[in-house]
Amino acid sequence: MKSAVDRSLPVVTMYIITNLGLLFFLYPGDIISSTDESHWIPISLGLATHFLFLSMYMKGLSYFRNRDIISIYVSTGKTVAVIFLLPMMVYLLIIAIIILRACSEIITIVFLSSTPLWSIIILLLSMSTYMAAQSMQSVFRTGVLLAILFLPSILFVLLLSFQNIDWHYIYPLWNNDFSFLKQTSYLKSYFAFSGSFLFLGFVQPGFTYQRYKVQLAAIVLMPFFLLSVYIPVLTFGQATASTLTFPFVVALDAAQVNWLIFDRITMFFLLNLITFIILFLASLLWMTSKIAAICLPAVKPAYMVVSIAAVLYIFCLMIPDWKEVDHFFVWNTPLRFYMLIAIPISIYYLGLRFKRKERHADK
């Protein structure tokens, strides 16, 4: 039997740009607010949790011979499908709403202060909807192209951001106080982990990938999580950084580079990240439409994507200000950990059970 073609590159690329798109906006502020010192401890705990459940998720999927997560749950039974797929669809919609509002707010602050928020949301959503309505293959191909173009410039900007740091702010390196585990802001920081790997269950059999390559990508991303928090802390100090809504963005804005074509490297950096966010929104729309298609199989995929985008736009307009977005974060904390923990464990358990049944059938 001919083995499937390995298409790890677009899958790994999408995983990397998804995490980078989520990482630099909200995550630094949540971690900085959760503890006064030794920020690497909550960061490392979050990364270890992410790596554990990412590995469990991919291991469980590997037992099903390139079947996607929807067919796995549906074949197990309607009750199981409802228990896991319905909350997943709700969570994907919530992620899309939060990202749309957060990204629109940042664009308004940095680029277009006089532009109405509703028009920025339409712009972001229309581009994502167009890509999602085509196919996931087009999203992945675009992701590879954008990664080639923009990842070097992101690394370049990160190097420039070191010009204002004070290494004395890194101390103390150890803290015996683990009260951050109870902090709402720390629980909110798992937003950067819970939605970034779910797409791996949707891409097969169209895109086959090797698990160890995704795991290597997760390891490569670890320094970026540290930098996103420590650059603003080392630039402003904990006391000042904790008062900022987007501390990493403000830290970049403090860097002065006179020879760059952009007046501020913040604009250069955010333009790159916004393209990643648009791709991530496209993947969220595509995954949500795949789940919704179970209930409405007669609706064409493109129409389903457009309908979901319209719902997202209405909900985004219903959110009056950033405080309500923050309440959204707190409200969906249980659902966030349900996605992070329950989905990988359930897929791993179902995979083991499927493997045992195959062994008994072969005897």
- Region 221-246: mean pLDDT is 89
Q: Supply 301's token pair.
A: 């995929």
Nearest to 29 by CA among 181, 246, 231: 246
Structure tokens at 208: 């086959």
Which residue's structure tokens are 């173009």?
149
The two tokens of residue 9 are 């590159």
Between 211-236 and 136-160, two packed helices, what is the crossing angle to 10 degrees? 40
- 3-state secondary structure at position 208: strand
Q: Give tens-digit pLDDT for 39-79.
A: 899 999 999 999 999 999 999 998 887 788 999 999 888 88
Rounded to an integer, what distance in angstroms lies between the CA atom of residue 163 and that of residue 235?
Answer: 9
pLDDT band at 91 (very low <50, low <70, confident <90, very high): very high
Both tokens assigned to 280: 């991530």
Domain boundaries, the chain: 8-362
pLDDT over 70 percentage in the chain: 95
Say yes or no to pLDDT of 4 above 60.
Answer: no
pLDDT band at 223 (very low <50, low <70, confident <90, very high): very high
What is the chain's mean pLDDT, rounded?
Answer: 86
User: What would the CATH number be for the domain defined by 8-362?
Assistant: 1.20.1740.10
Compute the distance between CA of residue 295 and CA of residue 310 in angstroms, rounded to an integer. 18
What's the pLDDT tens digit per position in 141-183? 888 888 888 888 888 888 888 888 888 888 888 888 788 888 8
